[in-house]
Each structure stands twice: as structure tokens, then as C-alpha cells.
Structure 1
Amino acid sequence: MLKTRIITAFVLLAVLLPILFFLPPVFIGAFFLVAVLAGAWEWSRLLNPDAPRAAWLYATFCLVIIFVLLALQNVAWQFSLLLLAVIFWFFIAPFILAKGMNISLQKLRPFYVVLGLILLPATWFAIVFLRELGLVFLLSAMALVWVADIGAYFVGKAFGKRKLAVQISPGKSVEGAVGGLVLCYAYALACVFFLPFESTIFGAWAIRFGWVPMLLMVTLLTAFSIFGDLFESQLKRLAGVKDSSQLLPGHGGVLDRVDALIPTMPIAAILAGLV
């Protein structure tokens, strides 16, 4: 399993790194578009595993939404999609997560169908917007999610005692979440001190609003990266599966790898728009 996991990671890096550093930005958009469509396919399979054709239609419909919004060339429509996603994560997702496993996927299936067609395209538009601000801007925002995950894993392993969401993800602990947040603070400060201010969202916020608002922004993004992870874990448990798919051998599915990015990218895009 470890060997398969490493091989898959190397293949993905071999594809992604040249796209990031040697090709025009449109190729990054294309790469993440494929990832979003794969995520849409997995989302549909989680909701209705006995309807494989519906999963392809769902991914196609997700693609149509993205293309229509691009064709309209109206930033207000794209912003509205991002805002809908952010509103969900702020005001609806916490109540869904608070229910734990005491909700019915069958009853909420229509809601989740519509939800995926908002969250997944919004994630793609957020990534494209952040890339337009700069490659380092995008990568530094995405890296915050990975830093939070690394910090939570190692601190949780060493000191984790109190469960964060025992029904949804028994392996996550309060101590791990705090450890991830502290590491994110260190990471954000390093970005401010060692990179040009305008090249990252952390530097831009520190200059525009000050240190305390910048750290509050980091707290917000870190918290919602955890929300995204928990939300996908809850959906998988409701669907009765361990992984969203087997598209990435050794890693599970695409949603398993990008779950924390789904809330953080739209929120980061909105916050970046403020500066």
C-alpha cells in the first residue's frame, strides 16, 4: 500500500509541477478542472452508488455550470457562486456537522445534489482567481491546508486525548487541531517575513489590516480546512464507504485529497478580494 501511495504521488507531482512552473496559467485551470470534475463524479457516486451513468451526467452538469459562467464573462455571477459557497460553510455546514451521524442521506440527497453543484465549481473559480493574483499567492494559500493537516497529524499522534468529532472522524483530536493551528501561525508569519508582502494573502492582510486581523484570518482558514475534512468524512460515513473512490491508488479518491480545499479556497478568494 505504501509503495502504491508513493508511486501515485510521484506521478501526480510529475504532471503537476511542470504545469505549475513551466506552462501558462490556463493549464493550471485545466488541471484543476479535471480534478473538480473527478470530484463531482465521486460526489454523485457517494450519493447514489447504484447509478454510474448519473455520476457521469453529474460531472458533465458541473462542467456546463463552469463553462456557462465563463461564457457570460460576468465577474458578478462568479462572485455570487463563491459567496453562496462561503455562506454555506459559515451558516449551514456547522449545523450539519453538529448532527454527526444523526441525519439521513436518503432524505437529504436532493440537498446534497444541489450543494455539490455549488461547492465544486466555486472551488475551481476560487483557484483560478487566486492564480491570477500570482502563482505564489495560490500555492501559499493551498499550503496552509497542508500545514494544518501535518500539524494536526503529528500533534494529535503525540498528545491527542480529547476527540474532536468522535462520530464523524474518531482519529481527529482537539489537541491535533490546536497543534495544526499553531503551525499555521508559524507558517503564515514565515510567509510574511520571507516573501514579498504582496505575493501571499498573509502579507497582503498584514500590510492592509495589521497583524492581529491577519492571524484571525489564518485561524478562520485553518478552522474551515478542518470543517472541509470533517464534512467529507461525514458524507462518506453516511454513504457507508471508506474512500470517495479508488481513482488515486493508495490515496483513495480525489475528494479525499482536496476535501479541506473545498471550503478554504472560496473563503481565501473572498478574503483576497478584500485587499
Structure 2
Amino acid sequence: MLMLRVITATVLLAVLCIAIAMGPLAFAGVMAVAFGAALYEWLRMGGLGPVPAVLVAAVEMITQFSLYWAGALPRMEWFLFIIDGAVMLAWFAIFFTELAHRKNGFKVSVRTCLVSAVTFVPAAYLSLLYLYEIGDWVMVLSVLLIVWGADISAYFSGRAWGKHPMAPAISPKKTWEGALGAYVIVIVFFLLTYWFCIQKNVFTNFLFDELGFVWGVVVLAGLVALSIAGDLWESMLKRLVGIKDSSNLLPGHGGFFDRMDATLPVIPAATWIILSVVLAR
């Protein structure tokens, strides 16, 4: 299983690197496929049939890709600001709901599942393209590292010191100790990045330059919370429909939604933060 996971991850990394080397449209196209697959899996969890789910996902992602291909993104900053702000608030509401019902879980209606899918995934994809547009792959990677760093740190901190479950009815293996480890390690890592890396297109460098140390740390902690919210949200959906993985599209990893669940809330939030500074100038 470990070897299969490594092989799949290597292939995905190779495809991503080739897409980046080929240019913006290739990168946007590859990401459209990945986000479209995640949207398809999310819609299937909501009870939509395979054909309607494919059609909805295809229409959504082709529309977003076409906007990028047509060069509309620079003229959509206010639209993105409003949409990403609404999406970010919705994810925080989900996070607090998860914490409030951490011991008994909660129901998610079919309508809520489907509406959130067709809203959250396209917003994250369009926001990813905006990040790429203003800061190239470095900006995108620096945002994704927040999610990956939080996930890896929470896993190992939880394995080493985890005793108190964070949301036993939703995801029994996640602990408060793991979450605390994620906060501390991610914040320390990006503070060190800020001190030793001078690149302006690193998201956290932008964050600390524009907001200062205290507010930069607060915002970074909020982004870690959103990554946890996305992870718990998918765990709740899978628990409600009684499945282990969102699909088997990625051998050894499950589905695209499994790999992107914690990323979907963070990308729009990071984009909203950048836009709130850019549009205020």
C-alpha cells in the first residue's frame, strides 16, 4: 500500500511539474481536471447520479477555465473578493458547527451538500488561478504548504502526544494535541520562512509584511483552523453515506476530494486576504 501511494504521488507530482513548465493554460487545465474530479466525488456523496455529477462538474470547470483563458481574471477582483468572503464565512460557520457537535455529529441535508459542492469547489479553483496569476507557482505552493504542513504536523503530533479527541463523532483519530502541534509548527515554520526567504510572492511573507507579526500569526492560525474544518467536513460527509474514500481514482490515496478536502477552504480565504489588501490600496 505504501509503495502504491508513493507511485501515485510521484506520477501526480510529475504531471504537475510538466503542466507548470508548459505554461499557465496547461497548469489551469490540469487543475481544472483535479478540481472537477473533487467536485464530481462531492456531488456523488450528495446523492447525484454519475452522469448528472459528471455533467455538472464539467460545466462548472469548463466555465471557470474559459474565464481564465479569456483573460477575465484581472477584471474579476471584486467578484472574487465578495464570493471568497462569503465562502470563507461559510467555512468558519461549518468549523464552529463541527466543534459544537463534535461528540454527536450532525446531519447534512442533500441540498446543503450539493449547494456547497457547486459553490465551494469552483470558488477554490478560480482563487487558485488568481494566486497563480499574481505570484506564479511560488504563491500557490506557499498557500498549499500551510495545508500540507498542518496536516503532517497534526498527524505526527497526534501520534506522539494525542490523548484528547477533537471530534470523536466525526473523525475519532484527530486530537486536540495534534491540532495544537499543527498550529505551533506551521506558525514557527512560516516565521522562519519570513526571516530567511526574501521572495515577495511567498504568501506568508506578504501576510507578515502587510499585517505585521501579531495579525499575521492570527490569520495564519485561522487558515489552519479552516484546513481542519475542510478535513472534518469531508469526514462527516463520508460518515453519513458510509464510505471510506471519496472514490478510487487515486490508487493508494482514495479520491481527489480526499486529497483536497483541507485545501478547499484555505485557498479562497488566502485569496480574500490578498484581495482585501490589494483593493484597499
Distance 1:72 1:118, change over 3 A: farther
Letter of the aligned partner of 1:11 in structure 2?
A: V
TM-score by length of 2: 0.89
Separation in structure 2 between the aligned mates of residue 120 and residue 214 of structure 1, nearest angstrom: 26
| Residue aligned with 1:199, SS | coil
Identity rate of aligned residues, in percent? Answer: 37
Give deviations 1:250-269, integer Å, cap 9, x for gaps.
00000100111100000000
Give deviations 1:141-167, integer Å, cap 9, x for gaps.
111111111111111001000001001
Q: Cα RMSD over matched residues?
A: 2.0
The corresponding residue for 1:121 is 122
- Aligned ranges 1:45-124 → 2 under 5 Å: 45-48=44-47, 51-63=49-61, 65-66=63-64, 73=72, 74-75=75-76, 76-95=78-97, 98-100=100-102, 102-105=105-108, 108-124=109-125
Separation in structure 2 between the aligned mates of residue 28 and residue 218 of structure 1, nearest angstrom: 26
User: Contact 2:98 / 2:105 at 8 angstroms: preserved in 1?
Assistant: no
The corresponding residue for 1:180 is 182
Residue 83 of structure 1, CA deviation: 2.4
Separation in structure 2 between the aligned mates of residue 72 and residue 272 of structure 1, nearest angstrom: 20
Separation in structure 2 between the aligned mates of residue 169 and residue 47 of structure 1, nearest angstrom: 19
| Residue aligned with 2:30, SS | helix
Distance 1:150 1:182, change over 3 A: same
- Aligned ranges 1:1-12 → 2 under 5 Å: 1-12=1-12
Separation in structure 1 between the aligned mates of residue 252 and residue 196 of structure 2, nearest angstrom: 35
Separation in structure 2 between the aligned mates of residue 78 and residue 69 of structure 1, nearest angstrom: 13
Residue 93 of structure 1, CA deviation: 4.6
- Aligned ranges 1:1-275 → 2 under 5 Å: 1-20=1-20, 22-48=21-47, 51-63=49-61, 65-66=63-64, 73=72, 74-75=75-76, 76-95=78-97, 98-100=100-102, 102-105=105-108, 108-134=109-135, 135-275=137-277
Separation in structure 2 between the aligned mates of residue 85 and residue 149 of structure 1, nearest angstrom: 21
Residue 197 of structure 1, CA deviation: 5.0
TM-score by length of 1: 0.91
Give deviations 1:186-233, integer Å, cap 9, x for gaps.
221122112225222221222222111111111111111111100111
Letter of the aligned partner of 2:14 in structure 1?
A: A
Structure 2 residue ranges without an equivalent (≥5) = none
